[in-house]
Amino acid sequence: MTAAAHNVTGVILAGGQARRMGGIDKGLVALAGKPMVQWVFEVLAGQVDHVIVNANRNADVYGALAHGDIAATVVPDEREGFLGPLSGMSSAMRSISTGKVVAGSGEAVDSEWIVTVPCDSPFLPNDLVSRLLAESENADIVTCHDGERLQPVFSLIRLSQLPSLDEFLDAGERKIDRWFKSARHATCDFSHTTETFININTEQERTQAESRLV
């Protein structure tokens, strides 16, 4: 972990409804012998000091996630209605800014940034955070780019952007790329590691992912 990464809290977005998988809690779907979210958690926990899981169901299960010295803090959406990833980002950021996220030492987590990833992308690289931080000097948001398009749920976001995000959501806006345009925004080239963005929405995709993991 780089020194700069000590200012970053990881956020795993697991608050969706998973409509394409019949409404099940996607993060807890078994993948090669363990819950899908566990694959994500283990890689992310190696790059940050703390990990939040944004989840609206099964908080006790998500709260039991741990890897090394890193244990999960579960934060549900503050806004009702499954409003999408921006709502999860907002809730996670507020939980940090109000001192509700506590490290193993018992002290409140003090982060400058969050890094967000979805719960159904088990092929995260071990250098995700460092690569995003390398592009952050003149930006408040840094987003992965796969060579063809942005991957907006894979982003590094400065905590100071919370008021802007809340204002955007309060206005009824939901589109993540539209909010990004309101901030100093940079991109990070992941065109040579596009497997980062493989996600799982169907049983066939789950089977294909398992074949890569075993």
Dump the DSSP string for 150-167: EEEEEEEEEGGGHHHHHH
Question: Helix crossing, 85-97 with 162-170: angle to 10°?
Answer: 140
SS3 call for 135: coil
Whether residue 186 has pLDDT greater than 50? yes
Say which range, 131-135, 148-152, 162-166, 205-209, has the weakest mean pLDDT: 205-209
In this prediction, residue 61 has a pLDDT band, given cuts at 50, 70 and 90, of very high
Q: Give the span between the Cα atoms of 213 and 166, in whole angstroms.
A: 38
Q: Residue 54: what pLDDT? A: 96
pLDDT surpassing 80 at residue 62: yes
Structure tokens at 125: 């690289």
- Is the Cβ–Cβ distance between 95 and 101 less than 8 Å? yes
What global pTM score does this model have? 0.93
Domain covering 3-213 assigned CATH 3.40.47.10 in the classification: no
Residue 17 has a pLDDT of 53
Q: Is the pLDDT of residue 3 over 50?
A: no
Query: pLDDT tens, 132-160?
Result: 999 999 999 999 999 999 999 999 999 99
Assess whether pLDDT exceeds 90 at residue 5: no
**Average model confidence (pLDDT) for the chain?**
90
In this predicted model, what pLDDT tens digit does every residue of 26-58 receive, in sequence order?
Answer: 999 999 999 999 999 999 999 998 999 999 999
Q: Where residue 193 falls among pLDDT bands split at 50, 70, 90? A: very high
What does the pLDDT look like over 95-124, one tens digit per residue? 999 888 887 767 788 899 999 999 999 999
